[in-house]
Amino acid sequence: MPNFCLDSNVYIQAKNGPYGMDFMPAFWDLLDQQSERGVIYSSTMVFSELADGDDKLALWAKERKDTGMFVEPNGTVQLELGRIADYVKNNYPENNVKEFLAKADPWVIAHARVNSDTVVTQEAFVSQHSQKVKIPNVCGHFNVPYVNTWDMLRSLNVKFTLA
């Protein structure tokens, strides 16, 4: 079973949508459990994006800062980030490059590539002719597998049931 490196939008869309923290605590417990097992993680750059808010998700992230859920990029990940940045700079318009590189997205891809893991993102692949830099497109270029939240849950054989 692959390990999974989660993008910020996995947490944000879960909180705002089907896995609201107020009515679906099992999802958030699952994230803690899978993180403790070393199955899922995120970059510390994801932590920064989540902790920057002023809501329950920011508090949740801050409570997990030093638990292993959020991983610091090592030197190899930083080198890989450079390769990703070079590719993006050479293939997309400058304004979109700046936006992409300012976020956690390239770090998530770099972590997954270095660790032979799978990226989890709610972003979708866009046409090759698109000017937008999207995680699935960059993953595809670097042969990094990616899935969405639901496919990750299926891969983990997760079943949310009522007691």
Confidence of residue 162 (pLDDT cuts 50, 70, 90): confident
Residues across the chain: 163
- CA-based R_g, the chain, Å: 16
Per-residue model confidence (pLDDT) at position 108: 98
Per-residue model confidence (pLDDT) at position 69: 98
pLDDT > 90 in the chain, percent: 96
Q: pLDDT tens for residues 67-102? A: 999 999 999 999 999 999 999 999 999 999 999 999
CA within 13 Å, CB half, 156: 24
Per-residue model confidence (pLDDT) at position 119: 98
Q: Domain boundaries in the chain?
A: 4-155
CA–CA dist 76, 86 (Å, integer) = 16
Q: Cβ neighbours of residue 91 under 8 Å, at least 6 residues apart?
A: none
The predicted model scores a pTM of 0.96
Q: pLDDT tens for residues 21-65? A: 999 999 999 999 999 999 999 999 999 999 999 999 999 999 999
CATH code of domain 4-155: 3.40.50.1010
Q: Cβ neighbours of residue 69 under 8 Å, at least 6 residues apart?
A: 31, 32, 35, 40, 41, 42, 47
Per-residue model confidence (pLDDT) at position 128: 81
Listed in order, strand segments (DSSP E) in 54-144 are 70-71, 118-120
Residue 1 has pLDDT above 70, yes or no: no
Listed in order, strand segments (DSSP E) in 7-161 are 40-43, 70-71, 118-120, 146-147
